[in-house]
Amino acid sequence: MTDVSPPPHGPHAVVPLSPLCHHAQAERGSADDGRRDAGGRSGAVSDSSDGGSAPEGAAGSRRKDARRNKAALLDAAAAAFVASGVDAPVRDIAARAGVGLGTIYRHFPTRSDLIIAVYRHQVEACAEAGPALLESSASPFEALRQWIDLFVDFLVTKHGLADVLRSDQAGFETLHTYFLDRLVPVCGRLLDAASEAGQLRASIEPFALLRGVGNLCIGGENDPGYDPRRLVALLIGGLGRGD
């Protein structure tokens, strides 16, 4: 499947998603627990065991704690990537998360495991932000505009991770398919809502829009005078009917 984002051009800093995305992460159910990442590696696991003899309430509490701990650890890794790139020392990530080095390595035996987990974590956050924005925004078009801003943030993250993952081509392609499978439908839902509200000048396929946004993001890392966000804002502004 065609990439909707520009190819990586050297190391990039990871840009964290907005607080809204992290709010969406906090509301995520247990469906993600135990799911293997798209590159074929296991994600973070709970430090506790849900033994058969444990009361159901206690087991449920441990699962919730494990989800919170996993999200906090991945948020700390993303923040460390912002500060130091994807080669940030594991010790710094552990310090940000308030855990020991052993906890990091128990959840993510290799740096690639951690990078993939951060990638998936932010894909899910971006995907879940779409419905949340539809609920909270003043209009469907405003929800689309804000979500595209988050998508642009994610593209910067994706570039930094892609540089590392290219060495595992099969795993990278699987992960990229997951990226498309999660985000293209969310964009489609936002476009449909804006269209039904009469807020779009013309129809556009979600994949085409995301690919266009991705292409506009090429080159900004090497040219301080190039502002992809401004161009994306003009693109989205031209898509809407206005007041």
For 66-86, the pLDDT digits (tens) are 777 888 899 999 888 877 878
Reading the block at residue 58, the tokens are: 């206690």
Say which residues have a Cβ less than 8 Å from residue 49's Cβ, sequence separation at least 6: none
Render the burial of 17-43: b for 16+ CB within 10 Å, e for the rest: bbebbbebbeeeeeebbeeebbbebeb
Q: What is the largest CA-CA distance in the chain?
A: 62
Q: Who's near 233: CB < 8 A, 6+ residues apart? A: none
Q: Give which of 38, 34, 30 is closest to 179, Cα–Cα.
A: 38
Spatial CA neighbour of 36 closest among 175, 141, 172: 175
Q: What pLDDT is attached to residue 16?
A: 39
Non-local (6+) Cβ contacts of 130 within 8 A are 143, 147, 186, 187, 189, 190
Q: Report the SS3 class of residue 200.
A: strand
Backbone angles phi, psi at 42, to 5 degrees: -75, 145
CATH number of 19-239: 1.10.357.10
Q: Please choose, from the candidates 122, 26, 110, 109, the residue with its C-alpha nearest in 3D space to the C-alpha of residue 69.
A: 26
* Residue 156: closest CA among 10, 14, 2, 19: 14
pLDDT of amino acid 58: 77
Residue 42 DSSP class: B
| Token reading at 226 | 């190039």
Highest mean pLDDT among 84-93, 140-149, 207-216: 140-149
Query: Is the per-residue pLDDT at 98 higher than 50?
Result: yes
**Range with lowest mean pLDDT among 72-76, 183-187, 191-195:** 72-76
